[in-house]
Amino acid sequence: MASRKMILNVILILMVSSSEALRLLVFFPLYSKSHSILGQGMVSRLLEAGHEVVHITSFPRDKSEANLTEINLQSLGVKMKAEAEKLEQFKLKNLVGKGNFGDSLFFIYFTHEIHKQILDDPALVKLLSDPKEKFDAVILEWFFADEIAGIAPLFKCPLIWFGSTEAHWQVLKLVDEIPNPSFTVDLFSNSTPPLSFWERIRELYKVLKKSLIIGALITPFEKTIYNNVFNKIAAERGVTIPSYDEAVYNGSMLLLNSHPSIGTPFRLPQNAKYIAGYHIDTKVKPLPKEIENIMNEAKHGVIYFSMGSNLKSIDMSDYMQKSLLTMFSTLKQTVIWKFEGDLDNVPTNVHLLKWAPQPSILAHPNLKFFITHGGQLSTTEAVHFGVPVIGIPVAGDQHANMGSVTKKGFGILVNLAENMAINLQIAIKEMLENTSYTTKAKELSHIFHSRQQKPGDELVFWIEYVVNTRGAPHLRSPALSIPFYKKIYLDLLVLSMLLLYLLVLATRRFVCKRCRRASKSKKEKKN
């Protein structure tokens, strides 16, 4: 009886300890609506699990909530957004026919300038410098800037990286070795595995080129930012921070906003986990009455068109806008177009929305399909609700996303162009007449939802797991501790070449010696 009571007490203690509220720092500072949605989704799941959250964000909530403290970087975000909007290269009409700006040096400079300003923000510096602030874990959104890794050592707690896109070599190298470019593609690539001979060469070139640029230009710049920012704050907190390399590669976990049903089934290390879809609320919010009436009354169904939150349809050229309106007017279907302004002569079957409740629209049974830019959130939400897509990728990861979508069979790709209305009309006709796209979307949606845990629950589980196991060191890949020359057996190659050289040298000496003996013997016989 006593032993039984003891067992019950132990179980009760374990249950209490496992449900203990954690204090977590969530860092999603980018002034981008799509990135903010991911950050707010993570905060919501952690609050629902009973944890306390300090959220660094440029999009604070309208109402205060229990257990939530927000470090508001909105003013900085608005300032940087205004500066970005002055740059003509970001306008949709100027991206037609251009290469992916994600591969440009300007993109590298821009992302690091953003993070440099974020780390200098007084509100953030005040939080990081306060010795009273304690956290059980720090979750950082990684966006092509490693220097933010210095935040976790300030609080002497585990670092959890978050990747907002499909898994790719630049984010995977934080917790493992760089994946083989013969079967994995760069995030900004137009190729989709399996790769042809020339595609494999191109992907290898991209990895080598970016690795050289990172090593020669970016890493020294990041180290300067890291040392200038964190050494000073660490001194105020009375702690000693590790070197830049130790901080960057000391991540306990990598949470990925992707899933094999949507993208590539990458070979992941034990401490990298797919959690795509966690930001989508379990209960879909009801549509505003006006939009609900439009969708309910559409006799031939609804086509939803949105170019996302960062790219704006209002930035299309006049010709693109007018040609699309003319093409939409020929359709029997009702078109809901997320458009950030007003247009003249809008057809009766087209409805412009300055803001669109996307998940609620995608969940409506009268929706036929979704015309999208192919962003990670849009493709994820499309799969979640089993909606086929027509994708018009523009930049960033959108080309890779749509390459995967078309390969999986639940979407059609249309290239961004001034006269794209013609090809878009052909794609719409194909989508309406061929039911295979909808069938495949439903099939992949079933796969997406067939998981041991819901993505929101899995997100919470792994964050709690990292804290409860003191950084989950048992899950870390040994590849991080092995130098590159050992991974490619360069030392073995050098040793083999040395042994081969010695063997050739010894053989040569032996042959020469035998030849001299034979020659000497021949002369002696002749004499």
190 within 8 A of 81, measured Cβ to Cβ:
no
How far apart CA 465 and CA 123 sit, in angstroms, is 30
- CA–CA dist 244, 211 (Å, integer): 17
CA distance 165 to 258: 6
| Nearest-angstrom CA–CA distance, 434 and 320 | 27
What's residue 88's pLDDT? 62
pTM of the model: 0.90
Residue type, 284: V
What are 274's strand-pairing partners?
256
Using CA atoms, how far apart are residues 456 and 459, in angstroms rounded to an integer?
A: 5
Give the pLDDT confidence score for residue 8 in this predicted structure.
Answer: 46
Would you say the CATH fold of 289-449 matches that of 20-280+454-481? yes
Q: How far apart are CA 418 and CA 395, in angstroms?
A: 16
**Domains of the chain, residue spans:** 20-280+454-481, 289-449, 487-526
Torsion from C-alpha of 208, 211, 212, 218, nearest 10 degrees? 160
| pLDDT per residue of the chain (527 residues) written in tens, 0 to 9 | 445 555 444 444 444 444 589 999 999 999 989 999 999 999 999 999 999 999 999 999 999 999 999 999 998 888 877 776 666 666 676 677 677 777 777 888 888 889 999 999 999 999 999 999 999 999 999 999 999 999 999 999 999 999 999 999 999 999 999 999 999 899 999 888 889 999 999 999 999 999 999 999 899 999 999 999 999 999 999 999 999 999 999 999 999 999 999 988 888 999 999 999 999 998 999 999 999 999 999 999 999 999 988 888 988 999 999 999 999 999 999 999 999 999 999 999 999 999 999 999 999 999 999 999 999 999 999 999 999 999 999 988 999 999 999 999 999 999 999 999 999 999 999 999 999 999 999 999 999 999 999 999 999 999 999 999 999 999 999 988 888 788 778 888 999 999 999 999 999 888 888 888 777 777 777 66
Q: pLDDT value at position 521?
A: 74
What backbone torsions phi and psi does residue 110 show, to the nearest 5 degrees? -65, -45
H/E stretch holding 222 reads: helix 219-237
Six token digits for residue 250: 């000391």
The position carrying tokens 């976790």 is 152
Count of C-beta atoms within a 10 Å radius of residue 121: 18
The CATH number fitting domain 20-280+454-481, selected from 3.30.360.10, 3.40.50.2000, 3.40.630.30, 3.40.50.880? 3.40.50.2000
Instruction: State the Cα–Cα distance between residues 351 and 349, nearest whole angstrom.
Output: 7
Instruction: Give 320-377 as a 3 state SS string.
Output: HHHHHHHHHHCCCCEEEEECCCCCCCCCCCEEEECCCCHHHHHCCCCEEEEEECCCHH
Q: Report how far apart the first and last C-alpha atoms of the chain are (Å, whole number).
A: 110
Contact 310, 92 (CB under 8 A): no
> Is residue 320 packed enough to be buried (19+ CB in 10 Å), middle (13-18) or exposed (0-12)?
buried
Residue with tokens 């954690």: 22
CA distance 157 to 43: 19
Residues 6+ apart with CB under 8 A from 423: 414, 415, 417
Cα 470 to chain centroid, rounded: 25
Cα Rg for the chain, rounded, in angstroms?
28
What phi, psi does 158 have (nearest 5°)?
-65, 150
Which CATH class name applies to 289-449? Answer: alpha beta
- How many Cα atoms occupy the beta-carbon half-sphere of 193 within 13 Å? 14
Q: How far apart (Å, rounded) are the C-alpha atoms in residues 384 and 407?
A: 18
CB 380 within 8 A of CB 361: no
Cα–Cα distances in angstroms (integers) from residue 243 to residues 64, 229, 360, 509, in the given order: 37, 13, 47, 52
Whole-angstrom distance, CA of residue 456 vs CA of residue 45 = 6
